[in-house]
Amino acid sequence: MLTWLDVLAISVAALATVVGARRGGAYLVAFVTAAAAYAAAAWTLPSVGWLPVAALAGGGLGVWIGGRWRFAPQLDALLGGVGGFLWGAALAVSLWVAFPAEYSPASGAIRYPSARLPLTVQRAVAESPFAPRLFALVWNHPLARKLFLPGGSLEAR
């Protein structure tokens, strides 16, 4: 059964897809440039505070570039829908994996979500069919961990 966290993440993904289809091909170009700027910043900058700035700058550059291209109306909506879907998928994964985790010395494993979160949030994350699996996937792949958990998701004890 879906939890409120799943409904929120799926709704965000659906809304981003619709906005992308309405905005057109410039949305796909903006997503690609924003994602590239974010990935470059996550890989090179030591401070995570600059990541949103890099993504916004890349997205603004993409809107400027994409606004100068003209596509056929159906192709424009399709490209925008693809860009919206990719943006929505990235946002949904971010929502599912962004809750803090903690190292459990007793078991030697990572506990996701952290026991310090409110009980309602812990239940929603633990009972979600997506969040624990996506967190494990992101945690086990260094590139995905760098992109989706740039500041680290572990709480210090």
Name the residue ranges covered by the structural domains of the chain.
4-97, 101-155
Give tens-digit pLDDT for 21-44: 998 888 888 889 988 988 888 888
pLDDT in tens, 82-111: 999 999 999 999 899 988 888 888 887 888
Residue range 10-19, pLDDT digits in tens: 999 999 999 9
Q: Is the pLDDT of residue 156 over 50?
A: no
Concatenated DSSP letters for 79-121? HHHHHHHHHHHHHHHHHHH-S-EEEETTTTEEESS-TTS-HHH
- What is the C-alpha end-to-end distance of the chain, expressed in Å? 32
